[in-house]
């Protein structure tokens, strides 16, 4: 298959690992003058912009949209959906290249189309509820946020919290390592979107995390 990916440079390595060398890849800036021509050549498209827009072109190819910060329902509110099927995708660094592709459906009738495209992509998948943040990003960003509160209170250091979480839970990364790998600003943006969607206190971003995101800073983790 020929995969067309808009604004996906931050996930290029992970996308290539996930779907493998048997496919061809076209990573396209959102401002590219020939975006529509390149879209026309695609078998499947991934729009990974914070607010994806490929549906305005009414494509017939399957579309995957990053729905960690906006649900498909929000994106298509008072708008026409694309002619082809559209799916929500967990497009968060470190959370894409897993055995199961985490996706959501805008229309339940598109389930067979999702099965077909995932078979062609060579990946197993799991359909989750069509909500902001899907499932795994909600869990991971909430863990990072709680760790930030612990650090802010001076209870433990970055290194102590990372080591404790890895040893105690067998997570692949400590929360601050994970925040750096995802991107501190992206973690903050996801939490903000979750809080606006739910108004639940558990998603309210820690002031320390917000401060670091606004300053484009990362955590000093052990190498």
**Domain boundary residue among 69, 95, 127?**
127
Average of per-residue pLDDT values in the chain: 95
Could you tell me if 203 and 191 are in contact, meaning their C-beta atoms sit under 8 angstroms apart? yes
Could you tell me if 90 and 134 are in contact, meaning their C-beta atoms sit under 8 angstroms apart? yes
Could you tell me if 84 and 59 are in contact, meaning their C-beta atoms sit under 8 angstroms apart? yes
| Beta strands 63-66; 86-89: pairing state | parallel
The tokens for 163 are: 């080591």
Name the band, by pLDDT with cuts 50, 70 and 90, for residue 42.
Answer: very high
Whether residues 171 and 74 share a domain: the answer is no
Split into its structural domains, the chain has a count of 2
Mean pLDDT of 65-69: 96
Report how far residue 171's alpha carbon sits from residue 215's, in angstroms, rounded to the nearest whole number. Answer: 28
Name the band, by pLDDT with cuts 50, 70 and 90, for residue 67.
Answer: very high
Evaluate whether residue 222 is within a structural domain. Answer: no
Whether residues 199 and 181 share a domain: the answer is yes
Could you tell me if 40 and 159 are in contact, meaning their C-beta atoms sit under 8 angstroms apart? no
Name the band, by pLDDT with cuts 50, 70 and 90, for residue 175.
Answer: very high
Whether residues 99 and 187 share a domain: the answer is no
pLDDT at 189 over 70: yes
Report how far residue 12's alpha carbon sits from residue 16's, in angstroms, rounded to the nearest whole number. Answer: 6
Name the band, by pLDDT with cuts 50, 70 and 90, for residue 172.
Answer: confident
Q: What are the tens digits of pLDDT across the range 89-138?
A: 999 999 999 999 999 999 999 999 999 999 999 999 999 999 999 999 99
Query: Which residues face 80 on adjacent strands?
Result: none
pLDDT score for 193: 97
Structural domain including 159 reads 136-214
CATH of residue 191:
1.10.1040.50
pLDDT at 222 over 80: no
**H/E element, 26:** strand 24-28
Whether residues 26 and 123 share a domain: the answer is yes
* Strands ordered across the beta sheet of 86-89: 24-28, 2-6, 44-47, 63-66, 86-89, 100-105, 124-127
Sign of CA dihedral 121, 127, 129, 133: negative
Whether residues 75 and 159 share a domain: the answer is no
Whether residues 11 and 120 share a domain: the answer is yes
Mean pLDDT of 158-168: 90
**Domain boundary residue among 127, 157, 178?**
127
**Domain boundary residue among 127, 152, 185?**
127
pLDDT at 223 over 80: no
The tokens for 130 are: 């069509």
């Amino acid at each position: 298959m020929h995969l067309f990916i808009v604004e996906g440079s931050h996930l290029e390595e992970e996308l290539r690992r996930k779907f493998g060398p048997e496919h061809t890849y076209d990573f396209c800036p959102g401002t590219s003058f020939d975006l529509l021509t390149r879209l026309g050549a695609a078998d499947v498209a991934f729009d990974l912009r914070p607010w994806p827009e490929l549906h305005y072109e009414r494509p017939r190819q399957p579309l995957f949209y990053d729905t960690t910060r906006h649900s498909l329902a929000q994106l298509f509110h008072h708008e026409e959906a694309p002619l082809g099927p559209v799916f929500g995708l967990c497009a968060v660094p470190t959370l894409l290249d897993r055995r199961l592709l985490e996706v959501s459906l805008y229309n339940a009738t598109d389930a067979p189309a999702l099965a077909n495209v995932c078979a062609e992509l060579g990946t197993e998948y799991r359909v989750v509820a069509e909500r902001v943040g899907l499932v795994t990003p909600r869990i991971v960003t909430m863990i990072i946020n709680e760790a930030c509160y612990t650090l802010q209170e001076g209870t433990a250091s970055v290194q102590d919290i990372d080591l404790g979480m890895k040893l105690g839970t067998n997570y692949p990364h400590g929360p601050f390592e994970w925040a750096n790998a995802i991107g501190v600003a992206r973690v903050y943006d996801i939490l903000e979107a979750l809080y606006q969607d739910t108004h639940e206190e558990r998603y309210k971003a820690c002031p320390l995390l917000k401060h670091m995101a606004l300053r484009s800073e990362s955590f000093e983790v052990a190498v």
